[in-house]
Homo-oligomer: A and B are copies of this chain.
Amino acid sequence: MRGEGEFGLIARLAERLRGAGRSPSRTPVHVGLGDDAAVTAPTGVTVTSTEALVEGIHFRREWSPPPSIGRKALAAALSDLAAMGSEPGEAYVALGIPEDFDEARCLELYDGIAAMAADTGTAVLGGDLTRAPVLMLAVTVVGHAASPEAVVGRDGASPGEAVAVTGELGGAAAGLLLLERPELRRSLDAGVADALVRRQLEPGPRIAAGSALASAGATAMIDVSDGLGADAGQIAAASGVRVTVDLERLPAQPGVLDVAAAAAVDPADLTSAGGEDYELLVVLPAARVRNAVAAVGSTGSRLTVVGETGPGEGVELRGPDGSIRPPAGFDHLPVR
């Protein structure tokens, strides 16, 4: 019987989202939560992406409190909009709830979604709830841009352009190592360790930086979710270029090198293959780099040139000694 159960929870979740009150949509909303569908009136072009997170694959409940799970799910989806240089608009959240995840935890999870929505100006306008064997979220986000030309895809890079990355890399992978092996914290300052764990559990989408890079003439862009090398491979394949990245130029988050040393792993595995940092990897004409560095700097992030494009295909990761290695990345779905 569908009675108090699902309908009641939906009403309380909607209350939480409305209560946040700080997340107006950039698009006029005619019908929001509570009908069969939401109705909006977008102008320009819309930019839409879907991201699914599954307990045991993308997060563990023993490490992530419910608000962090909610924040990360929306952030991961919004990161794809950032990678297009698009401004976030609306979000739709499908939530699969296991038996042992009670209503209080559902509400906390929605508090995390509402907080990330408020931080980014995203309006949560709909979703679906269902029972599921594990906690899972599928978040669809809709962004907006003035015109198709204002959106940066993966396929616009040419040979001879600069390859750059926002912010710092390796933090999410180092944070995961710290969660898996708490004894590694001994070699780190507590604040530095906490920041690494936070990067793993609560990454932020680089929306302002993505928008700045789109305006600054980016020709191709992608978010670093599967590991910089693997994500660079997407740009290489879509644009028909070779991407060369100097491993020693990759900007590591403070503490990443210490964690790598303590864990006896190659630091390049964390910075170039770790993924989940949700920074932006961008290609742009060399002549635009200076302006782009300033534009990204003004958003509170930074832009580091890490390589260049050339004729050919695929990705080369160049070591300090000039050695070349192929990229590695995390596969959420090893298919046999």
Contacts and interface: CB of A to CB of B under 8 A. Distances in A.
A287 to B, nearest CB: 25
B332 A2 contact: yes
A102 to B, nearest CB: 7
A5 interface: yes
A41 B333 CA distance: 32
A190 interface: no
A69 to B, nearest CB: 15
A36 B49 contact: yes
A134 B47 CA distance: 30
A118 interface: no
A335 B6 contact: yes
A41 to B, nearest CB: 5
A76 to B, nearest CB: 10
B102 A336 contact: yes
B45 A2 contact: no
Interface in A53-82: 53-54, 56-58, 80-81
A90 B92 CA distance: 15
A291 to B, nearest CB: 23
Interface in A1-53: 1-6, 8-9, 30-31, 34-42, 44-53
Given A136-B136, A151-B31, A328-B1, A130 B333 contact: yes
A131 to B, nearest CB: 5
Interface of A: 1-6, 8-9, 30-31, 34-42, 44-54, 56-58, 80-81, 83-84, 86, 90, 92-97, 102-103, 125-134, 136, 138, 140, 142-143, 145, 148, 151, 153-155, 221-223, 226-227, 230, 238, 328-336
Nearest 4 interchain pairs by C-beta: A2-B331, A138-B138, A37-B49, A52-B94
